[in-house]
Amino acid sequence: MTAQFPPTPAQAAFWKQAGGQAWVDLQDLMDRLNQPICDAVVAEGFPGAGGAVLDIGCGAGATTLEMARRVGPQGRSLGVDVSAPLLEAARAAAKAQGIANAQFLEGDAQTFDLGEAAYDAAISRFGVMFFSDSNAAFANLRRALKPGAKLAFACWRSPADNPLAGAPVEAAAPFLPPMPQADPDAPGRWAFAKPERVQGILTRSGWRDIEIVPLDVPTPIALPDLMTLSLRMGALGAVLQQADEPTQAKVRAAVAERLAASETDGMVAMSSACWLVTARG
């Protein structure tokens, strides 16, 4: 059993409500853990000073804001997400940091009219694995980019490459109702784990010069922080919201015991195993 985000169409509601709020609450921690991945995606997608960039599944805006700084005041960076709580946090961050060339739009990039040939690049950090129709979504994104513009995104590799990702759900399983076995190709965290599937989606939707390379990032994390993430994010966080307090207590104890087995001096030597994908429109 592996952790999965709620399936589409429940995903949109999840991110607009509990899931989005959980990420807002943990935003500083998530951004800190994911900063090296943000840096890699922005570096690959940077179109040059003054460029216009589309950020898909921008969340609380870290990648959008970083790209806005890179393209400079003559450029623009537009973040798109379905989660109102995350977008509210992103707009607040842009205002606090004085970044006027970053804007944020609530919408589903699969179907939203993003314009035609309007952007010099598109980027995403873990935001493209949740489309209900990936072929249609990436065709829509390609239409929004100028001919030859670059796409750069990070997505997760397999649960086997990220062994700690499923540990909390496995530890909690004896105390919770059975969770259905997820289709590995269904929208969710692991949907793009197979590089041949990613290659096929991009090819069918009109992209060329596709490159898919491993991106392995050490992400050491304090045990209390990992406990917080494990109990609030993803499938386990969603299920625990519906559980009674005695069940939650048993789950917390089981997850703590499982994660403590990987702890040394208060830290867990976690690593994020991803794909860094680039293509041209």
Q: Is residue 230 part of a domain?
A: no
Task: Give the pLDDT mean for 231-246.
Answer: 85
| Count of beta carbons in the 10 Å neighbourhood of residue 106 | 15
Beta carbons of 162 and 126 less than 8 angstroms apart: no
Indicate if the pLDDT at residue 242 is higher than 50.
Answer: yes
Given a cut of 80, whether residue 259 has pLDDT beyond it is: yes
Instruction: Tell me the average pLDDT of the chain.
Output: 91
Residue 101 domain flag? yes
Contact 81, 127 (CB under 8 A): yes
Q: For tokens 């703590």, name the residue.
A: 256
Q: What are phi and psi of 266, to 5 degrees?
A: 85, -5
Whether residue 262 is contained in a domain is answered as: no
Are 74 and 156 spatial neighbours (Cβ–Cβ below 8 Å)?
no
Q: How many domains does the chain have?
A: 1
Euclidean distance between the first and final Cα of the chain, in Å? 37
Q: What phi and psi, each to the nearest 5 degrees, are found at residue 214?
A: -65, 145
Least confident of 21-30, 89-98, 108-117: 21-30
Could you give the CA distance from residue 92 to residue 176 in angstroms, rounded to a whole number? 37
Across 58-87, average pLDDT: 96
Whether pTM > 0.85 for this model: the answer is yes
Torsion, Cα 224 175 3 242, to 10 degrees, reads -90
What does the pLDDT read at residue 19? Answer: 55
pLDDT in the model for residue 18: 56
* Domain hosting residue 36, numbered range: 10-159+182-220+269-280
CB-based contacts of 262-269 (< 8 A; 24+ apart in sequence): 262/164, 262/167, 263/223, 266/222, 266/223, 267/220, 267/221, 267/222, 267/223, 268/164, 268/220, 268/221, 268/222, 268/223, 268/226, 269/218, 269/220
Query: Quick check: 204 pLDDT over 80?
Result: yes
Do the strands 52-56 and 76-81 form a parallel or antiparallel pair, or are they unpaired?
A: parallel
In this model, does residue 3 exceed pLDDT 50?
A: no
Q: Which pLDDT score is estimated for 13?
A: 55
3-class DSSP state of 190: coil
Check: CB of residue 268 under 8 Å from CB of residue 164: yes
Q: What is the CATH number of the domain that holds 65?
A: 3.40.50.150
Q: For residue 11, count other CB atoms closer than 10 A to its CB.
A: 18
Assess whether pLDDT exceeds 50 at residue 73. Answer: yes
Residues 164, 177: Cα–Cα separation, whole Å: 21
Under the banding of pLDDT at 50, 70 and 90, the label for residue 2 is very low
> Lowest-pLDDT range, 7-21, 52-66, 221-235?
7-21
User: Is the pLDDT confidence value at 144 over 80?
Assistant: yes
* Residue 216 resides in a domain: yes
252 domain residue, yes or no: no
Is residue 23 situated within a structural domain? yes
Is 100 inside a domain boundary? yes
Tell me whether residue 231 is in a domain.
no
